Structure 1
Amino acid sequence: MSDNKQYIQFLKSSFDKYYQTRNEAWEEFVHHCSVVSFSKEEVVKEQNTTERYFYFIIEGSVGLFLWKENNFVCLDFAFEGQFCSDYMSILTNESTPLQLRALENCRMLRMSKESYHKITHTPLGSVIRTVAAEASFIDKQLQQIDLLTKTAKQRYEVLLCQFPNIQNRISQSHIASYLGITPQSLSRIRREK
């Protein structure tokens, strides 16, 4: 993907499953973006800082991490065709303990939080923001329900259904952290499949 028309179509096709809108909405979005790249394991947003950008992943994957005791715990993943940021920081305009890190080499559209707020206060942008927030809320609630009601093996199977090739793209330690288990437990689960 090398020009704006391709980015617009990619955004539209990624978002159409939630809400179908005209290309013009995505043209405005892309107009406010720059294309940025991050290397695998590069920090996109440092912990204890305020988020300055909103991202849409074109290629690669990103993880959202929280420092706990003596290492980072993976709270969430985002892949191509998904938005990512420290959204709590964007909404509160405050620093958070969350870190955003590239889990693979990434190419993303990046928009300043000021442009994001400007766009999402237009009528169409407001609808897009609401739909995206609602979809994200549902995903996080389902993740919490799974964590409390499913076994580690069942949570792993759900993760594989959501992200079919994840085991070949993301380190086993990050996957285990996301599932709330040790890497050794994940290895055991994988052997049993």
Structure 2
Amino acid sequence: MNKSSVQKLLDTLNIPEKESDDLLSISKTVELGGEETYISEGQVPRKFAIVLNGLFRYYYIDEKGNQFTKGFILPGNVLSSYSAMRNRTPSFFYIQALENSEILEVTYRKWLQLQNNSPYWDKFLIFALERGYYIKEKRERELLLLDAEARYRTFLSEFPDLEKRVTQQMIASYLGIKPESLSRIRKKMSG
């Protein structure tokens, strides 16, 4: 991705020109292949990124090896195991590219310097954290109060093209159901 494409994305995030230039001066673009891990469980993350293009997921693995998809991350969103990075503790989950992707990566150390130099970045951080909190709160409500079919309909509404880009296993784990249950729901909805 060229600099003007990166700048366009930063413009869509409403980052002012000076701050955008400052961010670009401390970041680098990184390409990841499909299925490549960005952050692993147990790793103390020292970086975060903005997704420029592609697709990522956050997921957990239990002691039996079962994977549980926590979320899907699309372009324009921040990619981070934030609390682990902030507290310098191991991440509880994995971050994986699901297809060839490109990110704008910043080390946490450089981010803190940037944040200290401009009050804008405090506002940016609050916005990103509020957005993440909203998504987390909405997802918890859906998992607790909606049945599997309603959760699947919500998934299709929020991620209209994602079903073609990820496996049925990933979708089922995101919905909190087994792949067989997802097959039954799909069959019922198409019939």
TM-score normalised by length of structure 2: 0.92
Identity %: 25
Which residue of the partner structure matches residue 83 of structure 2?
A: 88
Distance 1:52 1:21, change over 3 A: closer
In 1, Cα distance between the equivalents of 2:47 and 2:185? Answer: 37
Counterpart secondary structure, 1:7: helix
SS in 1 for 2:182: helix
Output the CA distance in 2 between the equivalents of 1:134 and 1:143: 14
Which residue in the other structure is 1:150 paired with? Answer: 146
> What does 1:1-193 align with in structure 2 at a 5 Å threshold?
1-3=1-3, 5-13=4-12, 15=13, 20-70=14-64, 71-121=66-116, 122-193=118-189
22-31 or 170-179, which moves further after superposition?
A: 22-31
Runs of 4+ in 1 over 3 A off after TM superposition: none
Shift of 1:54: 0.7
Q: CA deviation at 1:7?
A: 0.9
Q: Kindly state the Cα deviation for residue 74 of structure 1 after the two structures are TM-superposed.
A: 1.0
Partner Cα distance (2:15, 2:27) in 1:
19
Distance in 1 (CA, whole Å) between partners of 2:185 and 2:120 is 45
Q: Per-residue displacement from partner, 1:102-132 (whole Å, max 9, x unpaired)?
A: 1111111111111222223320011000111
| TM-score, length of structure 1 as denominator length | 0.91
Output the amino acid matched with 2:120.
Answer: L
> RMSD over aligned Cα, in angstroms?
1.4
CA contact (8 A) 1:33 1:111 kept: yes
Note if contact 2:57-2:96 (Cα within 8 Å) is conserved in structure 1.
yes
Tell me the SS of whatever aligns to 2:57: strand
Letter in 2 for 1:97: F
* d(CA) in 2 for partners of 1:158, 1:120: 36
Letter in 2 for 1:28: D
SS at match of 1:100: strand
Unpaired runs of at least 5, structure 1: none
Answer whether contact 1:9 1:23 (CA < 8 A) is retained. no
Q: Deviation digits for residues 81-115 of structure 1, max 9, x if unmatched? A: 21111112112111122111111111111111112
User: Which runs of 5 or more structure 2 residues have no equivalent in the other structure?
Assistant: none
Letter matched to residue 139 of structure 1: I
> How many residues are treated as equivalent by the alignment?
187
